[in-house]
Chain A
Amino acid sequence: MKIRIKFAKYGTLKFIGHLDVMRFFQKAIRRAGIDIKYSEGFSPHQIMSFAAPLGVGMESMGEYLDIEVNSITSVEDMKTALNETMVDGIDVLSVKILPDSSKNAMASVAAAAYTISYKEGNFPIDDIQQKLADFYAKESIVVTKKTKKSTMDMDLKPGIFELKMDKPLNIPSDIDSDGDKQITPVIYILVDASSSGNIKPSMVLDAFCAYCNVELEPYSCQITRLETYTRIIDAQGEEKLVPLEEAGHE
Chain B
Amino acid sequence: MKRKLALSDEILMQVEKPARYIGNEVNSVMKNKEDVDIRFCMCFPDIYEIGMSHLGIQILYSMFNSWDDVWCERVYSPWVDLDKIMRDKGIALFALESQEPVKNMDFLGITIQYEMCYTNILQILDLSQIPLYAKDRSENDTIVIGGGPCSYNPEPIADFFDLFYIGEGETQYRLLLDTYNENKRNGGTRREFLEKAAQIPGIYVPLFYEEEYKPDGTVKGRKKLYDKAPDTVLKEIVMDVSDTHYPLKPIVPFIQVTQDRLVLEIQRGCIRGCRFCQAGQLYRPVRERDVDVLKKYAVEMLNNTGYDEVSLSSLSSSDYSKLNELLEFLIGYCNSRYINISLPSLRIDAFSLDVMGKVQDVKKSSLTFAPEAGSQRLRDVINKGLTEEVILDGAALAFKGGWTRVKLYFMLGLPTETEEDILGIGDLSNKIAAVFFDTVPKEKRVNGKVQIVTSTSFFIPKPFTPFQWARMCTKEEFIEKAYQTKKGIMSQLNQKSIKYNWHEADVSVLEGILARGDRKLAKVILTAYKRGCLFDSWSECFHNDVWLSCFEDCGIDMDFYTTRERNEDEIFPWDFIDCGVTKEFLLKEWKKAMNGETSPNCKSQCQGCGANRFGGGVCFER
For A45, give the chain B residue with the smallest CB separation: B338
Q: Which residues of A contact B5 (CB under 8 A)?
A: 12, 175
CB–CB A20/B13 < 8 A: no
Given A27-B307, A175-B4, A177-B4, the answer on whether A15 and B12 have CB atoms closer than 8 Å is yes
Distance in angstroms between the alpha carbons of A174 and B5 in the assembled complex: 10
CB–CB B254/A20 < 8 A: yes
Q: Which residues of B contact A174 (CB under 8 A)?
A: 2-3, 24
For B360, give the chain A residue with the smallest CB separation: A42
Chain A 11-38 near chain B by CB (<8 Å), digits 1 or 0: 0110111001001101111110100001
CB–CB A175/B2 < 8 A: yes
Partner of B13, one of A88, A176, A219: A219
Interface status of B23 (Cβ within 8 A of chain A):
yes
Distance in angstroms between the alpha carbons of A85 and B303 in the assembled complex: 11
For A29, give the chain B residue with the smallest CB separation: B306
Q: How many A-B pairs with Cβ below 8 Å?
A: 82
Interface status of A243 (Cβ within 8 A of chain B):
no
CB–CB A176/B4 < 8 A: yes
Q: Which residues of B contact A175 (CB under 8 A)?
A: 2-5
Interface status of B10 (Cβ within 8 A of chain A):
yes
Given A12-B23, A87-B26, A89-B24, the answer on whether A20 and B255 have CB atoms closer than 8 Å is yes
Interface status of B25 (Cβ within 8 A of chain A):
yes
Interface status of A57 (Cβ within 8 A of chain B):
yes
For A32, give the chain B residue with the smallest CB separation: B306
Interface status of A137 (Cβ within 8 A of chain B):
no
> A146 CB to closest chain B CB, in angstroms?
19
Distance in angstroms between the alpha carbons of A57 and B5 in the assembled complex: 14
Given A20-B254, A177-B4, the answer on whether A31 and B22 have CB atoms closer than 8 Å is no
Q: Is the contact region of chain A dominated by helix, strand, or loop, or is it mixed?
A: loop
CB–CB B254/A24 < 8 A: yes
Distance in angstroms between the alpha carbons of A217 and B254 in the assembled complex: 29
Q: Which residues of B contact A222 (CB under 8 A)?
A: 9
Interface status of B554 (Cβ within 8 A of chain A):
no
Q: Which residues of B contact A164 (CB under 8 A)?
A: none
For B4, give the chain A residue with the smallest CB separation: A176
Interface residues of B in 321-365 (CB under 8 A from A): 337-338, 361
Interface residues of B in 527-570 (CB under 8 A from A): none
Distance in angstroms between the alpha carbons of A31 and B13 in the assembled complex: 30
Distance in angstroms between the alpha carbons of A184 and B613 in the assembled complex: 71
List A residues at the B interface (Cβ < 8 Å).
Answer: 12-13, 15-17, 20, 23-24, 26-31, 33, 38, 42-44, 46, 56-57, 85, 87-89, 119, 173-177, 217-219, 222
**Apart from A24-B254, A56-B13: 18 A-B pairs, beta carbons within 8 A:** A15-B12, A20-B19, A20-B255, A20-B256, A23-B256, A24-B26, A26-B306, A26-B308, A27-B306, A28-B26, A30-B306, A31-B303, A38-B338, A43-B361, A174-B2, A174-B3, A218-B13, A219-B10
Which 5 A-B residue pairs are closest in the complex by CB-CB distance? A27-B306, A30-B306, A31-B306, A15-B18, A176-B2
Q: Jot down 18 A-B pairs with beta carbons below 8 A, ordered by A.
A: A12-B3, A12-B5, A12-B22, A12-B23, A16-B255, A17-B19, A20-B256, A30-B308, A31-B304, A57-B9, A87-B24, A87-B26, A88-B1, A88-B24, A173-B2, A174-B3, A175-B2, A222-B9
